[in-house]
Structure 1
Amino acid sequence: MNFYPSFGGNLSKGEQIAYTKSANFKNGKFVNIKDVPKELRFSETLALARKFFFTKVPNGKPLRNIEVEKIDSLSIADYKGNTRLIWFGHSAFLLQINDKNILIDPMFGKVAAPHNWLGGNRFNTEMPIEIEKLPKIDAIIISHDHYDHLDYGSIKRLKEKVNLFYVPLGVGIHLEAWGVERKRIQEMDWWQETKFEELQLVCTPAQHFSGRKFNAGQSTLWSSWVIQSTTESIFFSGDSGYEVHFKEIGDKYGPFDFAMLECGQYNAMWPDIHMFPEETVQAAVDLKANLMMPIHWGAFKLALHDWTDPVHRVINKAEELNVNIITPKIGEEIKLYKKKTPKWWENYN
């Protein structure tokens, strides 16, 4: 853990002292507003891991490789149109807004783990575009330091073409360990706002946890993000359990034109740190989102549910609550208005 690079960096004593200024940092660790999640004993952690790795889940993965929509590098580099996004599966996006290229939680790796031997493979063998073919990236936004959101291999391949990194408190230690200069990293606390040229970025609350190794849990902060231009407002949930912060964010920064909301990798054993699909739709209501998209599904098996359970349940609840929802294919262009999308996942069951 001390020497393998994908584990990332460690907070210094000085950084820990500096973070005591944050209301979210107590007794040497970052915390949620509610006292969750419960800290597991080592034996409980082993039991949970054993259940995850050895429980057979019916339809836990697609029957075959998911085919993605391919993107031409020039179509990204030369794009000057209205705001659009491209989904890379799970929680990774390219956002093109105000002639800027912004990557959100750019996990392009094969496995959401510190080493390829320690996790299951991504459901799609190809990505919509390879990192080397991406144009200059104006900024990367990271929600937290878990392996399915902050990927060592992806950052190493991306870092030379990225101008700025926006991350929650503490996450910069990993980027620095991987060769990103501190001057290109802006760490932010919950409710902190910053101007990125004509865009406003806001680091907003989430109810989750952090850590890339056993002895550094909750050493960095987790967050959601608000991205606003003069005409549009976008929300990205990161990972979060359902709580009152969604309504607080909606009241302060909503309504939102588009909300990317976690919907997958849930279980009754960890209800406070991941939303169930029905809660995902309620979060969209709380945020006053005109259009929502379920994320955090469709790429990795990180829980014990049917891989299509999230999308079926979220669509049913959205129809019940009359919430506009889209479920695009990986690599498909996403515009900020309602567009009926096919049930592409049915081709893989």
Structure 2
Amino acid sequence: MLAKATDKFHPSNKLGEGGFGPVYKGKLVDGREIAVKMLSQHSRQGKREFENEAKLLASVQHRNVVNLLGYCAYGEKKLLVYEYIANESLDKLLFKPDKRRELDWKRRYDIIAGIAKGLQYLHEDSPTCIIHRDIKASNILLDDKWIPKIADFGMARLFPEDQTHVNTRVAGTNGYMAPEYVMHGHLSVKADVFSFGVVMLELISGHRNSSYNPSLDDQNLLEWAYKLFKKGRSLEVLDPAVASTAAADQVALCVQISLLCTQSDPNLRPTMHRVVVLLSRRPTSLEEPTKPGFPGSRYRRSRQPGASSSRTGTSGASSFAKSEFTTSTMDTTATRPTTPTVDTGNQGSNAKGKQPLEFS
């Protein structure tokens, strides 16, 4: 079925290739367009483990998370089937001068809020807590209505409710990884929160953190934004391309929230639930962020082998739809919070009854 849908995985249907294998566009007999992710032959994941993970991911349902339709595993080949997202990934719009103007301030604000809701769902409301581990602009897909979808769960981690620690190797993208994760392999939902904060600042400023260089005095986007915030000049962080469409109070709030998310101490970072609430209610007062951590892998050599990771919310997955990506947050407590008091875009209340399709 999948061979027919993709014309035997013809090169003309190839959408791209990530660290976990190529992705092909296809069309099912009922007319639905799909994205088929072929896991690399070098993957150490066994068939049973793959099927268990695929079934779990198929139970994840949220408007801000790419939908896994089904899977196929035969022999050494493992395929994941996702909904096809026609628009480009966020990075291909945000970081290109000729396209970034399509992302006016309202769209950027809505994208920030959508990513936050998707992460809250993964951390707190999905059947099993999921930590994406690779939230970045290229892993955020935009549909034809500009709704953001978190994609590429190839590095995500899944955690049973009764598990509090996990030994994990460092995996992610330089410029987005939380310092405690890079240095010690300490993985929690707060690592996703940090990555989300970086993406949030990229959306506000139009600058890519990994290639940031507007000032010789600042080492990265976070440090630059933090210095402006401390001087009471948060509005200078805003991308000039959207200055005419932006609301000053929203910009200032978003800069402060992004800096709270990227604080060096993970215990000080907010949960994604709190981020969603802050974005929807726009508080009159908010605590001051402390100095941000340094994202990336400059501390990789100091990581202690066998470092464990606190459960503070966890989980893993694999997904895609025309690009690769990830997102972020939750408290450092093992228990999940009660039902949110704001609209979180949650479509997962009936997700446990959803059964994945097994393709041939």
The structure with the greater share of residues assigned to helix is 2
TM-score (norm 2): 0.25
Larger RCO: 1 or 2 (CA < 8 Å, sep 6+):
2
TM-score (norm 1): 0.26
The structure with the greater share of residues assigned to strand is 1
